[in-house]
Structure 1
Amino acid sequence: MISKFYSFIFCFFLLLNVQAQKNDFSLWNNFLKKHVSKEGKVNYEGIKNNPDNLNFVLQSLTKIIPDENWSKNEKLAFWINTYNAFTIKLIMDNYPVKSIKDIQRPWDKIFIKIGSNTMSLNNLEHDILRKMDEPRIHFAIVCASISCPKLQNEAFSSSKIESQLTNATKEFLSDTSKNFISPNSLELSKIFQWFSKDFKHKGSLINFLNKYSDIEISEHAKIKFKDYNWNLND
């Protein structure tokens, strides 16, 4: 009986530890608060001067291995945070750099180790995140460029991710440097062109935009796409 009791206690605390890992992005959250402004500007020089902060974040993420028992929100939070953290890692490995596109094939580099798998940013985006039927991920993951959605200066968490994704989407749409919206005319980020299929799963692109825009857009509005500024978001 005693051995069974201790076995139960061990399993109970093991379960608690696994659950804590799934939801604990405190190191990443603290890193973002320290190095990212509310406007999404990243202090890469500050990160370079104290690289241990980022290394600790990456080590904490690589110890977590999502599985089929995780909820969709837990997976979304983990993979979004992981994508953004390793994007910063990619920049720092090549810093100083004026643009992520100055790095050779940046999204195809195999350098993200999660468990026994080593992946690229493209793997995370196209093979995992885009398959989760959540188009708002495009306003949460960041490519370290001025025309990208801004890097939020707080970690995504499973308990808040619904409101976080909605806020990130609304914030991106209302930023007139990235999107200009009027009832009958749109100048949109090329994100809406590159990933057009993702925004049409439950209707048209206009249907999607009207869910998050403060301006009611006509279904017949004319659409143009803005030039993309790939300069570093520093």
Structure 2
Amino acid sequence: MKTIITLCIILGFSLTISSQEKFDHTSWDTALLLNVYEDGSVNYAGFMQDSSYLYKYFKELSQNRPDASWSRNEQMAYWINAYNAYTIKLVIDSYPIESIKDLKKPWDKKFIKIDGEWLSLNDIEHNILRKFGDARIHFAINCASISCPVISNRAYTAENLYELLDIQAERFINDPTRNTITASHISLSKIFSWYRKDFKENGEDLVGFVNRYSRIPITNQDDLGPKDYNWSLNEVEQSVKGFAYD
């Protein structure tokens, strides 16, 4: 099955990069298509098998840091993809693990080399991505855990960025395993408390932000408090993983 997917990509079914874009994310897009399932579960063993795509992408990232000539969307897409790709690397470098939190200070580790500078995942998230002022990035970057927003199985590009961020926000907010929003009760992910100030955009409060995407609006429901956060690895089940190599 994986061979068929790879052939489809080679024949042109991978994402199309606009000739106007500054950076080609095809290597990452290919690795995602091969190893991230529709439900967002990740085949880490598959990423290890397909590491040539990853390491080609890391080299491309390292040699092509965004500058002022890049559009805002191009820069955001680059850094979202970089964060997610290097999170995969962090896991597979120590695989198998039960949780990313089994690693020592995973988000502070400066293992990402971009244009000669060593960065951590926290550097990318807090010093770069959050400064764009778009709270939807919290649904795009993935921390390799079950309660995190699922990783998209397509690469972000300047062309698809806005639509894909909206899709990720709607998917996360309406996922009952990550948020409970019913007519009588609410219980939101801890992401909304950790980054509460980020969700106050254009004079809107957190409830207003959530209601942009929630199928059931938050009005006067009982607040059950934040949902428990499951830090277990967001790994595909072994039976499905085996199928991927048939």
TM-score range, shorter chain: 0.7 to 0.9
Q: Is the 8 A contact 1:135 1:199 kept in 2?
A: yes
- 1:113 is paired with a residue whose SS is strand
Q: Is the 8 A contact 1:108 1:122 kept in 2?
A: yes
How big is the shift at 1:175?
A: 0.8
Equivalent in the alignment of 1:225:
226
Equivalent in the alignment of 1:102:
102
Q: Is the 8 A contact 1:23 1:158 kept in 2?
A: no
Equivalent in the alignment of 1:117:
117
RMSD of Structure 2 on Structure 1 (CA): 1.6
Equivalent in the alignment of 1:208:
209
Q: Is the 8 A contact 1:101 1:230 kept in 2?
A: yes
Equivalent in the alignment of 2:143:
143
Equivalences for residues 114-193 of structure 1 within 5 A? 114-193=114-193
| Count, aligned residues | 216
Write the letter of the residue equivalent to 1:197. Answer: K
Separation (CA, whole Å) in 2 of partners of 1:204 and 1:192:
11
- 1:107 is paired with a residue whose SS is coil
Separation (CA, whole Å) in 1 of partners of 2:168 and 2:185:
22
How big is the shift at 1:217?
A: 1.6
Please tell me whether residue 38 in structure 1 is matched to residue 38 in structure 2: yes
Structure 2: segments with no counterpart, 5+ residues: 1-18, 236-246
Moved over 6 A (4+): none
Separation (CA, whole Å) in 2 of partners of 1:219 and 1:157:
38
How big is the shift at 1:82?
A: 0.3
Please tell me whether residue 78 in structure 1 is matched to residue 78 in structure 2: yes
Equivalences for residues 13-92 of structure 1 within 5 A? 22-92=22-92
Determine which structure has the larger helix proportion and give its number.
1
Write the letter of the residue equivalent to 1:121. Answer: L
How big is the shift at 1:116?
A: 2.3
Write the letter of the residue equivalent to 1:207. Answer: G
Q: Is the 8 A contact 1:184 1:217 kept in 2?
A: no
Structure 1: segments with no counterpart, 5+ residues: 1-18
Write the letter of the residue equivalent to 2:86. Answer: F
Separation (CA, whole Å) in 2 of partners of 1:53 and 1:67:
24
Q: When the two structures are superposed, what TM-score results if normalisation uses the length of structure 1?
A: 0.88
How big is the shift at 1:220?
A: 6.8
Q: Is the 8 A contact 2:211 2:217 kept in 1?
A: yes
How big is the shift at 1:177?
A: 0.5
Residues 158-183 of structure 1, C-alpha deviations (whole Å, 9 max, x = no match)? 01111100000000111100011124
- 2:216 is paired with a residue whose SS is coil
